[in-house]
């Protein structure tokens, strides 16, 4: 959008000789409905002569021209003439046309539905963050954006220059182009008809082949056949090595660490080729490799699609063949130099394709589905590229010491495999992508009544969380390596249930997302429902075997429907009616013979029609009130119907909880999901037939897209997930402390002023505070914690500790106040009822009458110094003191009432989210010793007696050890937050293997019994 906006600015200042339409298209992620709607219905569409489509599969890199045309060679000519820094290859166009590269772009929509030629561009680098929330300005290469814009502007000028005289015609329109750049220095383009119809490629290859066969006889053919066999074995060995890796703990490591991939998949291909080459005893290798290139060129030139990929093999046979002919009359040294030089251009083009493939494929396997192992794809690519290089440059292979190379290759492969076992595939910048959706299923059964009317009965089926991933590892990664694993009570999902898996597929991609999990949950609350009406009538009197099935469905703006079996649908009027009244008026008067016979092809993964994203009645447009209105002509019998609808950006408490569970691990460097967007589904399934009909209504869902694993990828898998025994409580700071610094302490009233000691005695935090110095009344006075924060900038390292404002004991972090401290916060949380009781009974501070910041006013005393009784009862005080932790995490000013009476469940959920997402440590006051041991395990440092001491001499023992009689009072706000804090605390005890037994060395060092 930024590029197009800047192009608008340029074109306003420098008008083009033709009109230019800017289509800011927002529908690409739902299978291009916006492009389809524009090109099929907008009055301007028929006047468009060309298109330039801007795509991305990454967040940087060079803008690749990967499709031009189709036909309409003049597009490539304009690119050649006007673009100063070309980068493109017709090989990618051939791969797209053959379907070997999965993907859809708006270019295809304009091409297929509007017959509009054009150019398709994309940037590919850093595709790991593509379509995650890390696809942001921090990960964007602005040089790439600048170059992208310049290239598009230059091409637009070239196209405008050619169109100002009118639409192209003749050969300019009918010819396709074979094109490629050479190192970005210049661009080569010529007509595909020259290569195919006029047989330039075929003639050149045949001349070379005949000349070699004449001089070398059948030996040349035999040599080419042997090289081809070795190449095939090389590819197979790499694919097999990829399949092997995919079924080990190292699966997907090569995709997440592409620097490892050549050492993991290249050696098997190299060893297979060399072994085959040695066993077969290939002779005439120089002529054999040229012959093989010529044969491949001939095969590719036979098709109008693959001819666009033939240029590389043409060059790989022509250049060495010409050099071989000239070398015969040159001295030996000159001849050798000439032969080497003849391979420079093919090698350059080869390296360009290798880099392009690596840039694209490794990130692609992170989002290419659960059915094809990413390691097989990457291994196959390395096998193919290795086989091409070795077989087409065989004369150089013959000169190497095969045995030594094979031994070294084997060693490299096994060492790389061992290293892969120690690495984790996912990281902060290369996240694992996960969908999690909250689904409710319900079923409706229609009973047909006379005159085609029907009665309906709805019944609930089940509700739950559907979790699936987008790569080969699927949800097993969550199950084995996430601290929380999958949602509780998860079980394998039955992908074969219903018509299309009984889950709300946002796209027709059932085979893409198999193998997920299902966890039963309560039904989500929907902002709107689907209403469905079915009506059945005979085709015509006396033809009971045929039926008219009228379907009317109303719902949210985005709905989908699956109608099955597609093979039974003879005709339909899909898209014919605009309003339900039109359908009602036409139900009994419509002539079924006039129903269109044209039907889309059924899907390969089910005998069904998958209808996408019609506009519903929640936000009607142009008077349209329903998403689906159509009549289908079907035989008597059962018809199945699934309907679901997307509630974009909707969510549910269950999903927010699961999201929070995963997000809480960010600070602990283990597992973090990324929330791209939440979307909900109305979903249902049923069995509508012609006598007894059942149809469907499906319920809500929310999707969490993409989850990630963090940066600690240098450690072994066991270091990521296995329980770790506390070390000797090293005096050195841990890696986690270095990453979390500077620490920020959130101190809640009556929740552990003593924690300042633990922080101050942590390695590197406060070097001027000796371990024997306690931050207590004796050393710093009654407001010892305030005095400490006053001295903090002088006695502490502010790069390791963020000093609290001196006179602001209980700092607030509501709204944006928390932003500077995300990922740095530490706190202690206490049972809210006991915390309130401790405040009420505090012998020093007057929390009851403190109406500003709590804990800043002394209690009044009698002549003997004993605190006077409070003037209000505990229940009245407690009611006003609920939600203190929630207040600190969601409010910005203590002077504005901080009473829990002004808080809601929504505030509590936000407080939980912030605890889970933004805090690196959450301790529990009631489990002080274990909390201190956990803190030392996570951040380092020895255990000192001061960490466990009583810093409030007015109390007997620590505040957290006092248990007050509070009757039946409970805190409905902070009670929920405290429960979440307990879960965070307990999960970290498990993660760091902190137990009472393992903490005994810490307790002993602190002098505890």
In tens, the pLDDT along 340-374 reads 999 999 999 999 999 999 888 999 998 888 888 99
Residue bearing tokens 């403190």: 850
Q: Is the separation of the CB atoms in 631 and 595 below 8 Å?
A: yes
pLDDT band at 848 (very low <50, low <70, confident <90, very high): low
Q: Is the separation of the CB atoms in 937 and 843 below 8 Å?
A: no
Q: Reading across the β-sheet that carries 118-123, which strands appear in turn?
A: 51-56, 118-123, 64-69
pLDDT for residue 923:
94
Of residues 844 and 569, more confidently modeled: 569
Closest among 530, 442, 513 to 703, alpha carbons compared: 513
Strand partners, 441: 462, 698
CB atoms within 10 A of CB 786: 19
Closest among 935, 934, 924, 933 to 1004, alpha carbons compared: 933
Residue bearing tokens 């690596």: 358
**Measured on CA atoms in the order 994, 997, 1001, 1006, is the torsion positive or negative?**
positive
pLDDT for residue 344:
94
Rounded to whole angstroms, how far apart are CA atoms 526 and 701?
9
Rounded to whole angstroms, how far apart are CA atoms 920 and 121?
43
Copy the structure tokens of residue 399: 């000169």
Q: Is the separation of the CB atoms in 110 and 40 below 8 Å?
A: no
Q: Is the separation of the CB atoms in 235 and 387 below 8 Å?
A: yes
Strand partners, 833: none
Rounded to the nearest integer, the mean pLDDT of the chain is 78
Q: Is the separation of the CB atoms in 678 and 645 below 8 Å?
A: no
What 3 state SS string does 243-300 have?
Answer: HHHHCCCCCCHHHHCCCCHHHHHHHHHHHHHHHHHHHHCCCCHHHHHHHHHHHHHHHH
Strand partners, 562: 610, 642
**481 has a pLDDT exceeding 90:** no
SS3 166: coil
pLDDT band at 93 (very low <50, low <70, confident <90, very high): very high
Tell me phi and psi for residue 609, to 5 degrees.
-105, 135
Instruction: Give the ranges where 670-728 is alpha helix by DSSP (H).
Output: 717-721
Q: Is the separation of the CB atoms in 828 and 924 below 8 Å?
A: yes
**583 has a pLDDT exceeding 60:** no
What pLDDT digit, counting tens, does each position of 313-332 carry? Answer: 999 999 999 998 898 888 88
Q: Is the separation of the CB atoms in 82 and 155 below 8 Å?
A: yes
Q: Record the pTM.
A: 0.65
Of residues 779 and 9, more confidently modeled: 9
pLDDT for residue 109:
86
Rounded to whole angstroms, how far apart are CA atoms 386 and 409?
13
Between 190-194, 398-402, 580-584, the lowest mean confidence (pLDDT) is in 580-584
What pLDDT digit, counting tens, does each position of 625-637 carry? Answer: 566 778 888 887 7
Torsion of CA 948, 949, 952, 954, to 10 degrees: 120
pLDDT for residue 200:
72
The predicted model gives 208-218 an average pLDDT of 75
Copy the structure tokens of residue 495: 């992908």
What pLDDT digit, counting tens, does each position of 160-179 carry? Answer: 999 988 888 888 888 889 99
pLDDT band at 951 (very low <50, low <70, confident <90, very high): low
The predicted model gives 73-99 an average pLDDT of 92
pLDDT band at 960 (very low <50, low <70, confident <90, very high): very low
The predicted model gives 122-150 an average pLDDT of 86
The CA-based angle 615-618-623, given to 5 degrees, is 65
Q: Which of 54-58, 455-459, 698-702 has the highest mean pLDDT?
A: 54-58
pLDDT band at 897 (very low <50, low <70, confident <90, very high): very low
Taking CB atoms within 8 Å and a gap of at least 24, the contacts of 297-305 are 297/201, 297/204, 297/205, 298/201, 298/202, 298/205, 298/206, 298/209, 301/195, 301/196, 301/201, 301/202, 301/205, 302/196, 304/176, 304/192, 304/196, 305/94, 305/97, 305/98
The Cβ-side half-sphere exposure at 719, using a 13 Å CA radius, reads 13
SS3 668: coil
**723 has a pLDDT exceeding 50:** no
Q: Is the separation of the CB atoms in 268 and 238 below 8 Å?
A: yes
Rounded to whole angstroms, how far apart are CA atoms 29 and 705?
13
Count of H-run helices and E-run strands, the chain: 34, 23
What pLDDT digit, counting tens, does each position of 757-785 carry? Answer: 888 889 888 887 777 777 765 555 444 55
Cis geometry, peptide bond prior to residue 842 (ω within 30 degrees of 0): no
pLDDT band at 232 (very low <50, low <70, confident <90, very high): very high
Q: Is the separation of the CB atoms in 930 and 994 below 8 Å?
A: yes
DSSP 850: -
Residue bearing tokens 């295809």: 108
**791 has a pLDDT exceeding 80:** no
The backbone region for 170, taken as left when phi is positive above 0, alpha when psi lies in -120 to 50, beta otherwise, is left
Closest among 697, 790, 818 to 444, alpha carbons compared: 697
What pLDDT digit, counting tens, does each position of 514-556 carry? Answer: 888 888 888 787 777 777 777 777 766 656 577 788 888 877 7
**857 has a pLDDT exceeding 70:** no
pLDDT band at 947 (very low <50, low <70, confident <90, very high): confident
**First vs last C-alpha separation in the chain:** 66
Cis geometry, peptide bond prior to residue 517 (ω within 30 degrees of 0): no
Q: Is the separation of the CB atoms in 535 and 614 below 8 Å?
A: no
The answer for residues whose C-beta is within 8 angstroms of residue 778's C-beta and 6 or more apart is none
The answer for residues whose C-beta is within 8 angstroms of residue 597's C-beta and 6 or more apart is 570, 571
Of residues 781 and 154, more confidently modeled: 154
pLDDT for residue 211:
76
Copy the structure tokens of residue 10: 């340029």
Between 367-371, 387-391, 541-545, 863-867, the lowest mean confidence (pLDDT) is in 541-545
Rounded to whole angstroms, how far apart are CA atoms 361 and 374?
9
The CA-based angle 245-249-254, given to 5 degrees, is 50
Q: Is the separation of the CB atoms in 235 and 384 below 8 Å?
A: yes
CB atoms within 10 A of CB 1008: 15
Rounded to whole angstroms, how far apart are CA atoms 84 and 92?
21
Strand partners, 921: 826
Rounded to whole angstroms, how far apart are CA atoms 88 and 552?
48
Rounded to whole angstroms, how far apart are CA atoms 717 and 713?
8
pLDDT for residue 684:
27
DSSP 485: -
Q: Is the separation of the CB atoms in 253 and 263 below 8 Å?
A: no
Q: Is the separation of the CB atoms in 123 and 64 below 8 Å?
A: yes
pLDDT for residue 718:
24
Share of the chain above pLDDT 70, in %: 77
Distances (CA, A) of 222 to 215, 272, 360, 394, 716: 14, 19, 36, 14, 49
The Cβ-side half-sphere exposure at 854, using a 13 Å CA radius, reads 28
**863 has a pLDDT exceeding 90:** no
């Amino acid at each position: 959008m930024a590029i197009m906006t800047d192009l608008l600015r340029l074109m306003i200042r420098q008008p083009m000789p033709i009109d230019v339409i800017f289509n800011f298209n927002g529908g690409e992620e739902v299978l291009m409905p916006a492009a389809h709607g524009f090109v099929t219905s907008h009055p301007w569409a028929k006047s468009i002569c060309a298109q330039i489509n801007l795509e991305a599969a990454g967040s940087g890199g060079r803008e690749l021209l990967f499709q031009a045309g189709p036909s309409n060679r003049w597009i490539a000519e304009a690119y050649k003439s006007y673009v100063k820094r070309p980068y493109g290859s017709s090989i990618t166009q051939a791969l797209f046309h053959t379907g070997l590269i999965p993907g859809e772009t708006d270019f295809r929509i304009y091409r297929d539905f509007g017959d509009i030629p054009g150019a398709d561009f994309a940037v590919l680098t850093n595709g790991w963050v593509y379509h995650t929330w890390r696809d942001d300005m921090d990960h964007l290469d602005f040089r790439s954006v600048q170059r992208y814009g310049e290239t598009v502007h230059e091409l637009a000028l070239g196209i405008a220059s050619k169109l100002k005289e009118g639409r192209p015609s003749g050969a300019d329109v009918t010819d396709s182009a074979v094109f490629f750049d050479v190192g970005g220095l210049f661009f080569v383009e010529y007509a595909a008809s020259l290569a195919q119809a006029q047989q330039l490629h075929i003639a050149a290859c045949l001349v070379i082949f005949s000349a070699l066969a004449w001089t070398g006889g059948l030996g040349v053919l035999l040599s080419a056949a042997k090289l081809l066999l070795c190449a095939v074995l090389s590819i197979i060995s790499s694919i097999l090595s990829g399949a092997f890796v995919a079924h080990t703990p190292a699966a997907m490591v090569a995709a997440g660490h592409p620097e490892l991939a050549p050492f993991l998949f290249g050696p098997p291909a190299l060893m297979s080729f060399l072994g085959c080459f040695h066993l077969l005893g290939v002779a005439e290798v120089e002529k054999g490799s040229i012959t093989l290139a010529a044969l491949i060129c001939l095969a590719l030139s036979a098709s109008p699609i693959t001819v666009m990929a033939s240029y590389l093999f043409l060059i790989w046979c022509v250049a060495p063949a010409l050099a071989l002919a000239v070398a015969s009359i040159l001295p030996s040294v000159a001849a050798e130099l000439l032969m080497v030089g003849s391979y420079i251009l093919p090698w350059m083009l080869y390296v360009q394709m290798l880099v392009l493939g690596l840039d694209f494929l490794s990130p692609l396997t992170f989002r290419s589905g659960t059915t094809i192992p990413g390691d097989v794809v990457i291994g196959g690519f390395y096998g193919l590229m290795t086989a091409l290089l070795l077989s087409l440059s065989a004369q150089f292979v013959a000169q190497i010491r095969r045995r030594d190379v094979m031994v070294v290759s084997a060693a490299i492969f096994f060492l790389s495999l061992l290293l892969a076992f120690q690495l984790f595939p996912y990281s902060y910048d290369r996240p694992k992508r996960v969908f999690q959706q909250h689904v409710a299923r319900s079923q409706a059964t229609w009973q047909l009544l006379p005159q085609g009317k029907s009665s309906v009965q709805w019944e609930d089926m089940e509700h739950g969380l559907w979790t699936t991933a987008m790569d080969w590892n699927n949800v097993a990664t969550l199950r084995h390596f996430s601290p929380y694993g999958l949602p509780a009570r998860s079980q394998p999902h039955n992908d074969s249930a219903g018509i299309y898996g009984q889950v709300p597929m946002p796209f027709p991609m059932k085979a893409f997302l198999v193998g997920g999990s299902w966890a039963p949950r309560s039904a989500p609350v929907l902002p709107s429902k689907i209403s469905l009406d079915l009506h059945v009538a005979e085709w015509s009197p006396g033809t009971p075997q045929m039926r008219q099935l009228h379907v009317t469905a109303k719902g949210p703006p985005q709905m989908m429907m699956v109608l099955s079996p597609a093979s039974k649908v003879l005709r339909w009027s899909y898209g014919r009616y605009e309003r339900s009244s039109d359908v009602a008026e036409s139900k009994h008067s419509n002539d079924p013979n006039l129903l269109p016979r044209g039907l889309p092809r059924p899907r390969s993964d089910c005998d069904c029609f998958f209808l996408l994203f019609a506009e519903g009645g929640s936000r009607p447009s142009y008077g349209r009130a329903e998403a689906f209105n159509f009549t289908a002509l079907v035989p008597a019998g059962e018809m199945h119907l699934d309907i679901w609808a997307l509630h974009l950006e909707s969510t549910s408490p269950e999903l927010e909880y699961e999201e929070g569970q995963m997000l809480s691990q960010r600070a602990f460097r283990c597992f973090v999901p990324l929330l791209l967007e939440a979307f909900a589904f109305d979903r249902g399934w049923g069995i509508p037939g012609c006598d007894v009909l059942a149809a469907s209504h499906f319920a809500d869902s929310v999707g969490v897209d993409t989850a990630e694993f963090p940066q600690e990828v240098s450690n072994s898998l066991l270091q990521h997930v296995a329980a770790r025994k506390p070390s000797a409580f090293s005096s050195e700071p841990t890696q986690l402390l270095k990453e979390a610094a500077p620490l920020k302490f959130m101190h809640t009233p009556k929740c552990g002023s003593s924690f300042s000691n633990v922080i101050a005695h942590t390695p590197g935090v406060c070097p001027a505070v000796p371990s024997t110095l306690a931050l207590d009344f004796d050393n710093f006075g009654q407001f010892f914690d305030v005095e400490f924060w006053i001295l903090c900038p002088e006695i502490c390292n502010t790069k390791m500790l963020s000093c609290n404002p001196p006179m602001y004991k209980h700092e607030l972090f509501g709204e944006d106040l928390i932003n500077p401290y995300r990922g740095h916060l530490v706190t202690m949380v206490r049972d809210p009822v006991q915390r309130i009781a401790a405040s009420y009974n505090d012998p020093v501070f007057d929390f009851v009458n403190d109406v500003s910041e709590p804990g800043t006013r002394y209690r009044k005393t009698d002549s003997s110094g004993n605190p006077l009784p409070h003037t209000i009862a505990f229940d009245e005080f407690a009611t006003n003191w609920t939600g203190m932790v929630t207040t600190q995490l969601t409010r910005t000013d203590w002077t504005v009432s901080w009473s829990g009476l002004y808080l809601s469940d929504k505030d509590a959920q936000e407080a939980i989210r912030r605890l889970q997402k933004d805090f690196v440590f959450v301790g529990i006051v009631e489990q002080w010793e274990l909390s201190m041991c956990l803190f030392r395990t996570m951040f380092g440092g020895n255990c000192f007696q001061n960490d466990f001491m009583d810093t409030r001499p007015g109390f007997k023992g620590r505040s957290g050890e006092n248990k007050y009689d509070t009757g039946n009072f409970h805190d409905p706000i902070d009670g929920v937050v405290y429960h979440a804090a307990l879960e965070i605390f307990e999960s970290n005890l498990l993660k760091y293997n902190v137990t009472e037994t393992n903490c005994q060395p810490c307790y002993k060092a602190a002098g505890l019994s």
